[in-house]
A = this chain, B = another copy of it.
Amino acid sequence: MMTVVNLQKVLGTDAADITLINKNEYHYESTWLHEAAAGTLLSDQVRYDIKDVIDSVKTKFVQATVEAIDVAGKKVTTDNGVFTYDYLVIALGFEGETFGIPGLDKYALSIANVKAARYIREHIEFQFANWSTDSVKDDSRLTIVVGGAGFTGIEFLGELANRVPELCKEFDVPREKVRIVCVEAAPMVLPGFDPELVSYAVGKLESKGIEFSIGTPVVEATPEGVNIKKGEDHFEFIKAGTVVWAAGIRGNRLIEESGIENMRARVKVDKDLTVPGSDNVFVIGDCALMINEETNRPYPPTAQIAMQQGEATAKNIAELIKDGETTEFVPDLKGTVCSLGDDDAIGVVFGKKVTGKRASFMKKMIDNRALYMVGGPSLVMKKGKFNVLK
């Protein structure tokens, strides 16, 4: 979306034919999906119609599912026709990664897209409705296991912590019957975050009844729950009506099938975000792998960087069309805020640590800014987050 909107700005009307191909008629904010999954935001609020945002004179929108990318043949095959190109931008987003753990693909739910997110919401509500009408009550119906204490896992837990008391009221379920357990393989929560902030987050979530099981990998998922490894020969089975897997993302499998060199479907791009050896193909967002030379580690796949990449790529394509040179992309990291529900958050913004309502306010401003960058004030009015001062 950022590439298209910026191409529309920097290119004259006849300078190029812009085609946007997307599976759905809508775009969704993938960083907001955890809210739709918890049920704290209606799924329609995390997406917007692409036609409301793009300039249909300058850009042709094709609703189609991409089936194959042929870099050598310069063509993209979809379920709605084959498209050739001079320049290609691959911005296919993430897929869940289950690391080959048996049963996860089948029995765990993943916050993968709008449909999957609202399925999780309905699944949880249905468990509550069933428990309420069951004559013999199995409390494990009300146990929710969240696999992963990374960014998505923690943000989802924050929403759940606020949502569960509402569900308990609606379905006459005593709060103490509901277990929410976060299971993480790594020995820490929110790796990369400041320890003081992590401690704040864990404390807040624990005070709302979230349990943490850290350093305990999930070794198997079954229809009944998950088996976790608690020690060398010590395993524990957590019986759970709902298992949500939020512990790992990878790039899109179409990249693996395209023959482009990749690592878990992510392409280690050149400095101008092009594919090594294909200077007319850009990869941005979750499918791009970029090394931070200061730390010699990859940049995390964040919306902040993805949006900057989109803007930079539009400028680079405009230069290439004029036979100019591309410019190196350098991320401008303003900070990161991890929400803990509607009313709380932790983060580092412009080098300063923030928590609580102030951090939550900033998070909403960041979310609104992302809408503004693509769709201007009218999109912010329609889909923005305004409950910022309560």
- Residues of chain A at the chain B interface (Cβ within 8 Å): 42-44, 115-116, 118-119, 121-123, 125-126, 128-130, 132-133, 169-172
Contacts and interface: CB of A to CB of B under 8 A. Distances in A.
A198 to B, nearest CB: 33
Contacts of A172: 115
Contacts of A123: 126, 129
Contacts of A119: 129-130, 132-133
A297 to B, nearest CB: 35
A118 to B, nearest CB: 6
Contacts of A126: 122-123, 125-126
Contact of A133 (B116, B129, B130): B116
Nearest to A24: B172
Contact of A122 (B115, B118, B125, B169): B125
Closest 3 CB pairs of A and B: A122-B129, A126-B126, A119-B129
Question: Which of A43, A116, A126: most chain B CB closer than 10 A?
Answer: A126
A122 B123 CA distance: 9
Contacts of A122: 122, 125-126, 128-129
A332 B130 CA distance: 41
Contacts of A121: 129
A121 B125 CA distance: 10
B118 A170 contact: yes
A118 B133 CA distance: 10
Contacts of A129: 115, 118-119, 121-123
Nearest to A172: B115
Contacts of A171: 118
B44 A170 contact: yes
Nearest to A121: B129
A174 to B, nearest CB: 13
Contacts of A169: 44
Nearest to A118: B129
A179 to B, nearest CB: 20
Contacts of A128: 122
A44 B168 CA distance: 12
